Amino acid sequence: MQLPPHIENPQRLAPLMGRLWAPLAAVTTACNGKANAQIAVAIAAASIVPARPRIAVQIYKSNYTHQLIHASGILAVNFLRQDQLALIKQFGFVSGRDADKLAGVSYRQGATGSPILTQCWGYLDCRVVNAMDGGDMTCFLAEVLEGDTLSDDEPLSWRHARRLLPREWAEEWDRRIAAEIQVSLRRMDDVRHDPWQSPKRPVS
């Protein structure tokens, strides 16, 4: 299959694309007794109806969180406070397949069953209503069932976090992203058009 042409100078687009990233958030989910969290920035509002809020959440298929969301149809978005840099390392530098990433983190079970961090800037607890395959990732359309703002300060943004990360963390993050980019380049054109199948049975 012939690949589409690549952007010759992606750095020219970087300031524009960077404006599209959301505040840093921990996306959490649970399925069959297993809970997980990951760091995500690709989150956007997807409804103009205040009483029917929806969001679009992009999760890469290589992440364990993707497997759990796809099977359970639930997720929560926990926006981080500016003093929660440590959660970037805990949730973003290891796979939930290898460790319990929520160990030692205070959380409760939300209406959907997803973990809600009790110490965060704010949260949205959601049920997936549809999904679009993106080859290397899935864009989940989710309706918000409940949520709250828990802090008066501004949430943590990736731009702000990047300046504060210890050098060794930033370097490790860059190595991980570089590896993920290579995976995405191989998979992003393998887009499937099968309709979203909502999970048929309750999960916990």
The per-residue pLDDT for range 21-79, each reduced to its tens digit, is 878 999 999 999 999 999 998 999 999 999 999 999 999 999 999 999 999 999 999 99
Q: Please tell me the CATH code under which domain 14-187 is placed.
A: 2.30.110.10
pLDDT tier for residue 4 given thresholds of 50, 70 and 90: low
In tens, the pLDDT along 116-175 reads 999 999 999 999 999 999 999 999 999 999 999 999 999 999 889 989 999 999 999 999
Distance CA 54, CA 126 (A): 8
Given this model, what pLDDT does residue 16 score? 85
**pTM exceeds 0.85:** yes
Q: What is the pLDDT of residue 5?
A: 60
